[in-house]
Amino acid sequence: MTDKDGRPYIKISLDYLDNPKIDALSDTAILLHLSLLLRAGQQKRDGIVSTRACKTRGDKPFKELVTQGLLHKIDNMTYQLHDYVKHQTEAQVIKNKHEVRQSAGARGGHVKNHINRLIYDEACQHCNNDFETKADWLQHPDLTAKTPKHEWQK
């Protein structure tokens, strides 16, 4: 998930270290757990991590996480972080927000570069949609069409 500054983040409560499951871990196992949370957030796989990633700090911290119930085995190649989706934003929600923002940005670019400048671009999906709905700006007498690029200009 991203906040105002645009960088992705995960949610960690201030009482993370006070949780009995976390409190029972070694420092290395805590670091492993945090790194797995970060990796899962970056990969947007809803808390599913590879066995290889789970063992980056060695077998002992890995076994601690499994023993404390913080990692659940899915198969020989993957593990699920305990309650990841309960505490973090689901990958599909992040994807949907990204698509909404991307669509809004594309529409804003269309308004700025085509509608405001009165340039119809047949390669622009928004221009084509406006054409189909007979948008008013396409009736303007100063409207120009964007010249298609030649192969050598691409």
- The structure's pTM equals 0.61
- State how far the Cα of 2 lies from the Cα of 93, in Å rounded to an integer: 12
- State how far the Cα of 88 lies from the Cα of 37, in Å rounded to an integer: 9
C-alpha distances in angstroms, 72 versus 27, 50, 64, 117, 153? 20, 11, 12, 57, 54
Q: What is the pLDDT along the chain (154 residues), one digit of tens a residue?
A: 555 777 888 999 999 999 999 999 999 999 999 999 999 998 989 999 999 999 999 999 999 999 999 999 999 999 999 999 898 877 777 676 777 777 777 778 777 888 888 888 888 888 888 888 888 888 888 888 876 565 555 5
What letter does residue 118 receive in the DSSP assignment? T
- State how far the Cα of 86 lies from the Cα of 89, in Å rounded to an integer: 8
Name the burial class of residue 61, with classes exposed (0-12), middle (13-18) and buried (19+) by CB atoms within 10 angstroms of its CB. buried
